[in-house]
Amino acid sequence: MIRLSANVDKVATLRQSRGDSEPDPVVAAALCEQAGVEGITFHLRSDRRHIQDRDVDLLAQMAKTELNFEMAATEEMIARALAVRPAQCTLVPERDGEVTTEDGVDVLANRAALSEVIPRLKEAGMRVSIFSRLDADQIRAAKEVGADRVELFTGPYALARTSSEQDREFGRLSDAAKWAEKWGLGLNAGHGLDVRNLRRVATIPNLMEVSIGQSLWARAVFIGLERAVGELLAVLRER
C-alpha cells in the first residue's frame, strides 16, 4: 500500500497572508485524516513563513496518523523534532528566497553533518528520510549517512509537458527507485504530484509514501477536501 501524507503548509500560507487565525492547518490536518489520509506532512521553515511553532505543537498532540516533519538539518529544527517526536523527519535543503523546495539535499557535500544529525534523530525513535536528488551516488550516500528512506524529488517529472519529457523524467525516477531498493532504503516521493501525474508514479513497485500539498488544496477549493483526498486515494489504491 502506498500511504498518502497530506502536506498542510499551503493552509498555513493562506492564514499567514492575513496574519489571522484562519484557515487553521491543524483543523485541515484533522479533516484530511477524516477523509482517509494516512499521514500529515508539515515543513517548519526557519523563517516561519507558513507553519508556526504552535501548529507543530498542536499537530503533535492531535494527529491520529503519522506525522512527517520536513526540516532543514539545523540545531533549531533538531531540537523541535526531538521535542515533538514525529514518526518521520524528512531532511530538506532550505535556500534563501526560494518559493518552495527546489531540489534534493546534496548528501555528498553534507556527508559529515548528516552523519552526525541522523543518528540523533533515529536514537530518539524517529524514522529519517532525505529529500533526494535522483543520482546513484547521492542515494548511496543517503544510505551511508544512516537514512532509513529517501524521498524522490518528483518536481521535474511533474513539470514535464511533452510525453518524451515525461518519459525521460519518469525514467530518472524509476532508476532512482531501483538504486534505493539496491541500497536497502525505503522509498517516498513528492513535489508537484497531482491526481493525473500520480498514476504513473504509483506504479513504482517499492514506493511506500507520497506527500502531496499544492494540488490537494488547489482541487479542494473547487471540489471539496473529501473528494480531493478521495481521488488521490483512489489512484493510489489502483495499484
Pick the catalytic residue: 50, 169, 191, 231? 191
42 lines the binding site for ligand PXP (CB under 6 A): no
**Contacting residue, 74, 100, 203, 206, with ligand PXP by CB under 6 A:** 100
- Spot the catalytic one: 33, 50, 70, 209: 70
Residue 6 phi, psi (nearest 5): -85, 125
* 70 has catalytic annotation: yes
3-state secondary structure of 25: helix
> Could you tell me how many residues of this chain bind ligand PXP (CB under 6 A)?
19
- In the structure grid, which three cell numbers stand for residue 116, read together? 552526525
Q: What share of the chain is helix, strand, coil (3-state, %, to 5)?
A: 50, 20, 35
Q: Which residue has the cell 502531496?
A: 212
List 2, 105, 121, 212, residue binding ligand PXP (CB under 6 A)? 212
Q: Which of residues 54-83 bind ligand PXP (CB under 6 A)?
A: 70
By CB under 6 A, tell whether 214 contacts ligand PXP: yes
Interatomic CA distance for residues 54 and 64, integer angstroms: 18
Facing residues of 96 across strands? none
Tell me, yes or no, if 165 is annotated catalytic.
no
**Nearest approach, Cβ of 179 to ligand PXP (angstroms)?**
18
Query: Rounded to whole angstroms, how far apart are CA atoms 193 and 159?
Result: 9
Shortest Å distance, C-beta 141 to ligand PXP: 18
Report the catalytic residues.
43, 70, 191
Q: Which residues bind ligand PXP (CB under 6 A)?
A: 7, 9, 43, 70, 90, 92, 100-101, 131, 151, 190-193, 211-215
